Amino acid sequence: MTGLTRRTMLQLSAAAGVAGLFAGRARADAPEGLKLGKAERFSWDWLQRHARELAGRAYQAPPRPDPEIVQRIDYDAHGKLDYRMDYALFPDSAYPISFQHVGMYFPKTVRMHKLTGGGTAREVLYDPGYFDAGPGHVASELPAEPSAFAGFWVHQPRSKGPLSKVEPWATFLGASYFRGIGEEGQVGMSARGIALDPGGAGPEEFPDFRAFWFEPAATQDQPVTVYALLDGPSVAGAYKFLLHRNAGVVMDIEAHVHLRKQVTRLGLAPLTSMYWFSETRKAPMADWRPEVHDSDGLYMWTGAGERIWRPLNNPDRVAISSFQDRNPRGFGLMQRDRAFHNYLDGVRYHRRPSTWVEPLEDWGPGAVQLVEIPTDDEIHDNINAIWVPDGDHPAGSAYHLSYRLHWRNDCPYPSGLARCVATRLGRGGQAGRANPEDTRKFVVEFKGGPLTGLPKGTLPEPVLTASRGRFSNQRTEAVPNGVPGHWRTMFDLTIDGADPIDLRCYLRTGDQVLSETWLYQYHLLAEEA
């Protein structure tokens, strides 16, 4: 987690359909356009060389406009800074771009550049006149130098409405964070350029995207191209983004990363989300809502072809789970539960996107790591999913990565197997008898796929394993709701010791696998010990 809360990030880079930070207000006075710096040579090859050379030099922090003033641009003040869309970058292109202002939660300067063709770029020079702030706004006290740009939005085309009202579908704001909207037209979880030791014993490092270069999309069927320079105390990198707008958003990403310093755990293609509680587990009187989460599980498609569903936890201490693999086919933090009545919240958790990472090349050996950090509120991003390549990561190491991010409702490559749709916990034992204090009951629900067409009288067989403990009272039955293909397996687990227990289950008939593999890490919480 960072000092920047998830709620602030979501509010300041609000979902499409919500009043935007830079919704723009038309002005009677016609602007002369963005101010641009002198032409400079630019190419993707140059940016890669520049990042490599930068990693060989001592780190220098990015400029910060007057910290005393910026610290006073809190959430409310930041919300009054409306970007004037008549100053949009590429206003006549398929997808215009607007810029976002520094503030308390985004205090560092990020340089913006317009690619003008012929291998040249011109920096977009900050001018306070790009923003409508209202009389007496604290931001008006900032000087023109250094730049007060902190991030950017990519907007829908003019065909969706007046340029002052078109909504954003991709946003880059804060450190190396970025988001896309899903099929439901809403943002939720985040991706990052890189993650350095999330959830580790020491403080996590958050490198910044220091500069961006933009190429417009000529048509709505073509991508917006964004180049980015990443820089931090331990790393420098060159990134290329191809941003596609379709039913949701697809981002093709190429990254070249160079380490200045040794990194303990190098997190590539990182995803960040929020999970507080769900039907699986909820502290008594924690909240009035049935569930609160942006994502409810980690989904993995391994290099060997296995489909794995790992429900998320909110443990009482940091938990890091490592899933060894070679050349994974994909992984993602998913929001599977899309029934409003399971949330009852006006912030529309049931519409939050899932984000799937698809490697576009062989990644070799490594691990998908899941980092779960305790939280007692929904304001924190407490979940990380990252790819960690095998081996040590000393200073001077270089990494190349090519992958695709899908922001949509579900995994873009369904397996055809039955899916895990719920994980429920309770006290173990049998009705009418005393419940043993050391026994927990697990109910795992699977639905769809081959379960739908099972011959009458066929009972799926659960294949169960646990890292320790003893199973009892095991049975499998159709969920009595009249829905074809909806089954649940139930079992008790007698627990010995207080360390986490790793559980694994899938359904089969004979040699036929019927379901994806359910993995779960059970934590004996402090109040249960």
- In terms of pTM, does the model score above 0.85? yes
Longest distance between any two alpha carbons in the chain, whole Å: 81
Are the CB atoms for 54 and 228 separated by under 8 Å?
no
Q: Three-state SS across 84-100?
A: CHHHCECCCCCCCEEEE
pLDDT: which is higher, 144 or 442? 442
Are the CB atoms for 191 and 179 separated by under 8 Å?
yes
Tokens of 437: 């204090």
Which residue shows structure tokens 């099929």?
A: 183
406: helix, strand or coil: strand
280: helix, strand or coil: coil
Q: Which of 171, 219, 122, 139 is nearest to 21 (CA)?
A: 171
Q: How far is CA 97 from CA 122, 224, 478, in A?
A: 15, 10, 52
What is the pLDDT averaged over residues 302-317?
97
- Give the pairing type, strands 149-155 and 383-389: unpaired
What average pLDDT is seen over the chain?
Answer: 91
Please state, in angstroms and rounded to a whole number, the distance separating the CA atoms of residues 99 and 151: 6
- Walk me through the domains of the chain, giving residue ranges and CATH numbers: 6-408 (2.70.98.10), 419-528 (2.60.40.10)
What is the pLDDT averaged over residues 86-111?
94
Please state, in angstroms and rounded to a whole number, the distance separating the CA atoms of residues 169 and 172: 11
- Residue 10 pLDDT level (bands cut at 50, 70, 90): low
Query: Is a pLDDT exceeding 60 seen at residue 90?
Result: yes
Tokens of 78: 């930041």
479: helix, strand or coil: coil
What is the pLDDT averaged over residues 182-202?
95
pLDDT at 5: 57
Tokens of 349: 């958790």
Are the CB atoms for 154 and 171 separated by under 8 Å?
yes
- Residue 25 pLDDT level (bands cut at 50, 70, 90): very low
Query: Is a pLDDT exceeding 70 seen at residue 181?
Result: yes
143: helix, strand or coil: coil
pLDDT above 90 covers a percentage of the chain that reads 82
Tokens of 122: 């011109």
pLDDT at 144: 81
pLDDT above 70 covers a percentage of the chain that reads 93
What is the pLDDT averaged over residues 348-364?
97
- Cβ partners under 8 Å of residue 364, min gap 6: 326, 327, 389, 390
